[in-house]
Structure 1
């Protein structure tokens, strides 16, 4: 980037910071993209500054502008991402945190990572309760719209991005599992308001789950923790206590992740 981008008294280091801020805001909008006005409002930068940085990012293929005039992430970021290390690295420290939650609640717990419109399950840990929910194993994926972890991811997105995922999934209703789009939209609002989700019989009949994303100090959450059990095990009288355990676990994973 050239020195003429150093407006508003900015330094080269400020240009890097501003560029990263813009990229994060573009990423938040997902498939729906974002307007120049939205980026200006979200970043607090001047319109000319945002426009100049976007033009440089477009030239480097980090951002693309489609016929709708909205800005989207560019293909160069995908190419770079192929060489990027896993944000988790060794899973063993996270497994210990997850197993502690499973031991405390007695049920099955999962750690999932978002991959596009899918939840990829990294870890599955079992509690001592003899009736278990064999819904998904580590190494498997489920659609965001058809998994408890996915519901937590959707709730963490900008509303327009979440709606874009749901609307595209509506073309294939089976992706929602035992639920549907309208219930999912209501559930997302509940998750946003209370910080965690609780639902029964919406992914698979007879199965309930409590879900929450792992806080990410640097941007949108990309990990989620879920407690899964037969529906009769997750009635309201247990959910309040278990949700506190779940959120504590999510914070512990966040601390472990950001201490590296």
Structure 2
């Protein structure tokens, strides 16, 4: 906040001030956040702890700094704001859908759910049309959603798995032990494949997308008929990994503005 900013007086303004402080390009320490938000450290810390618990802020692993979290990402994607992960992922999704003929998806974690924020459909006649932008699923239901869960730190993944177990029992065809086994297999091979877990005859392959801090910011996935997924599993995984690496490189470069928007600014 600048010296000309109005004073922070109520609880909502204090939360907004903390989020505004964190909207810069780099993670921040508590002292810097409190100073930028014009709050004392105790108040700033209390707000940060609440925002972290709600997913709007994250602690950067291995440091004493904070950054915006996954819920802020979901809101930004919904508003087509900058940084816009969905816009940055659009070329990769187009390539995936064109090369595979299947449905290419980008999902992000939102609390105990996965939210689809971008989608491109290939030309194969049979597509999982129920998977639309804005669709949410419990973590663990479907390849993309289970992938987001699998690549979290194991202790965090297990804690989330316990929270979503009642919903998994209602929506997933896999027992809990089988879900854990699929997660372990995904960590070893670098991609997750799930066939017929949610919808009969349909399956998917997914890989993680990592941000500049090394954390998983989303997942690319391809969804289609079981036969198509099974026959081309390794090939599809390679395609997904290539596009995930390309998107991660863009994020690492700080290239958060889509090219078209950059051109208009120039």
With normalisation by structure 2, the TM-score equals 0.66
For the residue of structure 2 that corresponds to 1:119, the secondary structure is: strand
Query: Whole-Å Cα distance in 1 between the matches of residues 171 and 177 of structure 2?
Result: 10
In the alignment, what sits opposite 1:168?
163
Contact 1:109 1:226 in 2 (8 A): yes
Are residues 1:252 and 2:246 paired?
yes
Are residues 1:156 and 2:151 paired?
yes
1:210 is displaced (CA, Å) by 0.3
In the alignment, what sits opposite 1:52?
none
In the alignment, what sits opposite 2:45?
60
Alignment of 1:60-209 (within 5 A): 60-61=45-46, 62-63=48-49, 73=52, 86=76, 88-89=83-84, 91-209=86-204
Structure 2 counterpart of 1:238, from 219, 232, 237:
232
Structure 1 residue ranges without an equivalent (≥5):
1-15, 21-55, 65-71
In the alignment, what sits opposite 1:13?
none
Q: Structure 1 residues 225, 135: closer, same or farther in 2, change over 3 A?
A: same
Structure 1 counterpart of 2:221, from 223, 226, 234:
226
Q: Structure 1 residues 110, 189: closer, same or farther in 2, change over 3 A?
A: same
Deviations 1:179-210 (A, max 9, x none): 23211100100111011001101122211100
For the residue of structure 1 that corresponds to 2:245, the secondary structure is: helix
Structure 2 residue ranges without an equivalent (≥5):
1-25, 31-40, 58-67, 77-81, 256-266
Deviations 1:137-175 (A, max 9, x none): 011111112121121111111111111111122233445
1:223 is displaced (CA, Å) by 0.8
Query: Whole-Å Cα distance in 2 between the matches of residues 17 and 96 of structure 1?
Result: 28
Contact 1:211 1:227 in 2 (8 A): yes
Name the stretch that deviates more: 82-91 or 142-151: 82-91
Contact 1:146 1:203 in 2 (8 A): yes
For the residue of structure 2 that corresponds to 1:100, the secondary structure is: helix
Query: Whole-Å Cα distance in 2 between the matches of residues 188 and 83 of structure 1?
Result: 26
Query: Whole-Å Cα distance in 2 between the matches of residues 108 and 158 of structure 1?
Result: 28
